[in-house]
Structures are given as C-alpha cells and as structure tokens.
Structure 1
Amino acid sequence: METPSATVFNVQKFSLDDGPGIRTTVFLKGCPLRCAWCANPESQLGAPQVLWDRRQCVGCGTCAAGSGAVTLDEKGVHVDHARVKDAEAVAGLCPHGALTVAGETRTADDVAEECLQDLPFYQESGGGVTVSGGEPLLWPDFVEALAARMHGHGVPMAVETTGCVSEAAFARALESLDLVLFDVKHPNEAWHMDGTGVGLGLIRKNLVQALRWAEAGGEVLFRTPVIFGYNDGAAAGIAEMLHGAAREAGFSGTPRLQLLPLHQFGEGKYDKLGREYGLRDERPLHEEDLEPMAEELRALGIDAFV
C-alpha cells in the first residue's frame, strides 16, 4: 500500500508552544480560513508556492523571461500562483536565489523518520509530535499514518486544528490522536466570517465532537489568538459558546482555554507572497495584556490561562 503524503512546508524541531514537553511540529499546507492575522500565509494554499525575496533580487528579469507566471515591474517581481505548474522549476529560474519554494510533497514515512530523530527528547520531556498548518485535517490519510508510526514508538500525537473540516474527517482524526489543540477565533457568526472568511457551522459541530471525545478520555485544549479590537472583548461570547458545546456533548469537565497574544512574526512572509498584511499597524499584545480577559473567562467558568 502506498504511503500517504501531504504538502509539508516546515518541520520545526524543539517546539515548546504546541503541546506539552519538547515537540516536533509538522506544518502542512492548505486551509479553508483566511484569517487576517495569519502568521503562516504560505500555509493557505495546498500546493507548493514560489516566494520572492526582494533583498536577494537584482531585477534582472530572468524569471519573467522564463515563465509566463512571473512578471517584473518597478515594484518588483510578481508571481501569479494560480498559473505556476511547477514551483521548483520557476524558482530555479532565478540565478541569485531570490525565488524559493514553500512546500514539498513528503510521505508519512519520511516525516516520521525525521521526527523520530528526536525520540530521546520526547521521552525525557513528555513531549511528542504536533501536526499543524494550515489546516492539517485536510490531509486525514497523512495524519492517521503519521500517528500510527508515532504510536508505534510510544510517541504521543497532537493536532492543531481550526475545526473547519468535515465531521467525518474530524471524527476519523480523533481516533488516532492523543491531544487536540482547537482554535476558537470568535463566537459571533458575522465577526467570525469577517475575520476568517468562513462561518461557524462546521466549527460548532466539531467543538461538540471534540468535547464528546474528551469526555471519553481524550484531551482537548482550546486556544484563542487574541487580536485587539476584534476578539479581545469577546470573553462572554467565547464562554457561552464553549459551555453550550459542553452541554450538547455531555462533557462533565471544565473547558480549558489558552489565550495567545497577537504577534507579527509572519509579516515578512506576506511581502514574499506579494500580498498586503492587513494587521501591519495593529497594536501587538503581550501575555500580561491578556490576563484581565483570562480572569473574566475564569469567572465565567472556563479554565483559562495565558
């Protein structure tokens, strides 16, 4: 049987932010959301993409001459990603290394081999492997196969998800996971649509699925990236949404929620993709800024922390 594959754009070792202990985070491409604050805009399309680095570019025009998907004007190089058939070939046109590729097709066996290089660190720290994105559950075969390989070596497997996938794909993933990190962006349908480009329908259904799984022994941690002026005042709505899902799921515990401050670490990636970063002038938040929101959530019955 052929080993499942996915488009991987990064494998980050020694990660401390995507689950307990020392972890390897595997980032997959493809996402149904278009969050204005996305720190990994190169994750949104499922296929490999060509990135342009203006610092390396000398404006020679070799790339534009060699590919109809590339143009050059006074503002720099522009890549029409929809017209790129072979990202590696297009990137290879640049003699100065200004064009690179985000994403490559990799098998679960290949990625598992790389992750297992750090097996001693997982064992010593209680860590494991986390699959993120993008939306990793768009690649259910890959996630399931990687989880099987990790579990064969006693390594816990986690996934970071938007929950915006089919109920069937979500249910299938739960069968092979030890931890689900479930993003909660906004509790209001219109605000969620405005900030992410998608509604809450599937997300609400999968919130319930996740909590049913947690009631049966799984571990779910909800996470909210807090954006000033967008959801920093939505504590009551978030608490109501989580409590409603818990009641529907028959979940007897207390939902856990981690608040994450907005950062602009991914800003430079937008330039490489030829896109505007919508939150360029937004005020960055720090952990101490989120403590009042965490206190409000705790008062509303949510186990919230920063």
Structure 2
Amino acid sequence: MNDINACIFNIQKYSIHDGPGIRTVIFFKGCPLSCLWCSNPESQDKNIQLICDETKCVQCLHCISVCPKSAITSYKNHIKIDSNKCVSCFNCKNSCPQKALSVEGKFMTISEVVKEVMKDEMFYEESNGGVTLSGGEVFMQHEFASELLRSLKEKNIHTAIETTGYTSKDIFSSLIEHIDLLLFDIKHYDREKHLKATNVYNDIIIENLKIAINNEKDIIIRIPVIPTINSSLEDARGFCKLLKSINAKKVNLLPFHQFGQKKYTLLDKPYAFQDTKQLHEEDLLDYQNIFLKNGFDCYF
C-alpha cells in the first residue's frame, strides 16, 4: 500500500496554526466545495495544474507549439491551460524561455510523504506536535489518507485532519478512527446560504459532524468569518443555535484575509472578494462574545 499515490500540492513545515505544537501540514488537491473566498484556489481542481505568470509571459506562444495534447491556447493575450487535456509532460514549462510556467501539485506515494514528514520528528516530540492533513479536501483521496494515517500512528505521530466534512458517512466514519484531532470547518448554518457560498448544501456536513461528536473525537469547529457571507451578529447567533443543538464545544474563528488573492490572478480565475477589506480579531470581538455567552470555548 506504500506505493499508492495522491496528488499533493504543498507540504508546509513548522506550522503552529493547524493543531497543537509544531506541525507539518500536507495539502491534498481536489475539493467538492467551491467557496467564493477560498484562500487555496489551486486546491479545488483535483488535477495537477500548470500556471502561467503573465507578468513574465511575453506571448511568444512557444508553449502552444510544444504541447502534444493542444491543452494550451491563447485568448486576448492570455494563456489558457485546460487541465483536463494536460498530461503533465511539462514540455511547455521546461522549455519556456521566460520561466513563466509553474506546476501546482505532484503525485507522491505514502512512503515518500512519510519520509518527508519524519524529517521533523524531533520537532514533533519537543513541542507535542505532529502532522495535519488538509486541502482541498482530504476525503477526496480517502484511501491514501487512511493508509497514511495508519503509517503515522505506527510511528506514534499525533495526527489531525482539517476538513469540510463533505463526504459519505461510511468514508467519514472509517477515516476519523485514525486521527487524534478533527479541525472541522463550518461555512454556514443555513443550508441555502451554504449552497450559494460553496456550491453544496451543508446537510451531509452537519450529519458527519454529529457522527464525530457522538464518537467523542477531539473536535475544534473552525468558522471562517467572511464579510457579506456569515459575518453579522445574527449569523453568530445562527451558528450558536446549530452548534448547541449538536453539543459542539470548541470554536475557532478565522477572520477573513487576502493571503490567497494573487493566486486567482495566476490561475486566471475570477475572485469575488477582490476589493474586500480583511477582518481582524478586534473587528470580531462582539461576534466572539455571542459564542462566549452561549457557553462555547471560542477563540481566534
């Protein structure tokens, strides 16, 4: 099983925001949600993606001429890359005279990932840290994730998953057996507003959260607080009502930021929050206070 592979787009070391201690975060490609504010838009596509930095591109169109599958076109001086046609030969990237093309994602085996994360075993031991699987959505590559978690537990590594919870109940129940901490994202309490913001309903998400709570897993609810989406005090009350009904305890508020803004330009994707100001902790004190008054352990 060590030879099965998954598409990984980043392995981030020395993270302190995705679980206890110093952690390595493994980012899986592919996500069933299409959140309008996504800070990792490169994670949404399950395929390896070629990206063109148009500040470097001189429109020589050499990439088009060397592509064996006609996956690259030019439209109004913009390079367009069809990831469904691309076979990842990288002829274009390797021969681009301006080095304007880069790759998001690569296939890695379990043994390769384990070897990489175990380089920092000393830091995990000294800080009570470990490894967190994130995305994208881990459950889209659940067979790989399950075997990876087994391998890490055999080495006594603390494991965590950051997830949207959007998968079948059977897959969800099976995978969470192998984790120590569940970082569970809730985007919206209202199913219709959730659909509008993410392109999916939240029904199965809430059902899976109930499963995790009933199995007494260590869970932190993460709420990305997004202007015009779920940032009003009435929204805070809506979240509290939902989370109290299923006996959730811990809530981590994530103020909206613009860290991923440039990625939309590189991916040639529209970005709905282009001109939206970032939120800071001090902007959300009243929002947080509603959770505190409702008995939640709520923090930033």
Aligned to 1:15: 15
Which segments of 5 or more consecutive residues in structure 2 lack a partner in the other structure? Answer: none
Aligned counterparts of 2:146 and 2:92: Cα–Cα separation in 1 = 33
Aligned counterparts of 1:213 and 1:75: Cα–Cα separation in 2 = 54
1:163 aligns with 2:157: no
Aligned to 2:6: 6
Task: State whether residues 2 and 110 of structure 2, in contact with CA within 8 Å, keep that contact through their aligned partners in structure 1.
Answer: no
2:123 maps to a residue whose letter is F
1:206 maps to a residue whose letter is N
Aligned counterparts of 1:198 and 1:89: Cα–Cα separation in 2 = 37
Aligned-pair distance for 1:53?
0.8
1:241 aligns with 2:235: no
Aligned to 1:70: 72
* 3-state SS of paired residue (1:159): strand
Task: State whether residues 2 and 111 of structure 2, in contact with CA within 8 Å, keep that contact through their aligned partners in structure 1.
Answer: no
The correspondence of residues 172-187 of structure 1 with structure 2, limited to 5 A, is 172-187=174-189
Task: State whether residues 48 and 83 of structure 2, in contact with CA within 8 Å, keep that contact through their aligned partners in structure 1.
Answer: no
The correspondence of residues 24-63 of structure 1 with structure 2, limited to 5 A, is 24-63=24-63
Aligned counterparts of 2:241 and 2:188: Cα–Cα separation in 1 = 11
Q: Structure 1, residues 107-141: CA drift from partner, whole Å, max 9, x if none?
A: 11110110000001001111100000000111112
Task: State whether residues 16 and 22 of structure 2, in contact with CA within 8 Å, keep that contact through their aligned partners in structure 1.
Answer: yes
Aligned-pair distance for 1:93?
4.3
Aligned counterparts of 1:151 and 1:226: Cα–Cα separation in 2 = 33
Aligned-pair distance for 1:255?
1.3
TM-score (norm 1): 0.93
Aligned counterparts of 1:114 and 1:139: Cα–Cα separation in 2 = 19
1:134 aligns with 2:136: yes
Give the stretch that moved more between structures: 80-89 or 205-214.
80-89
Aligned-pair distance for 1:263?
0.8
2:61 maps to a residue whose letter is G
Aligned to 1:220: 219
Aligned to 1:107: 109
Task: State whether residues 31 and 46 of structure 2, in contact with CA within 8 Å, keep that contact through their aligned partners in structure 1.
Answer: yes
Aligned counterparts of 2:162 and 2:2: Cα–Cα separation in 1 = 26
Aligned counterparts of 1:81 and 1:105: Cα–Cα separation in 2 = 15
TM-score (norm 2): 0.95
Q: Structure 1, residues 217-271: CA drift from partner, whole Å, max 9, x if none?
A: x21000011011210121111111112222xxxxxxx510000011111111111
Which segments of 5 or more consecutive residues in structure 1 lack a partner in the other structure? Answer: 247-253
The size of the alignment, in residue pairs, is 296
Counterpart among 259, 267, 278 of residue 273 in structure 1: 267
1:292 maps to a residue whose letter is D
Q: Structure 1, residues 153-173: CA drift from partner, whole Å, max 9, x if none?
A: 221010000011111111011
| Identical-residue share of aligned pairs (%) | 38
* 3-state SS of paired residue (1:221): strand
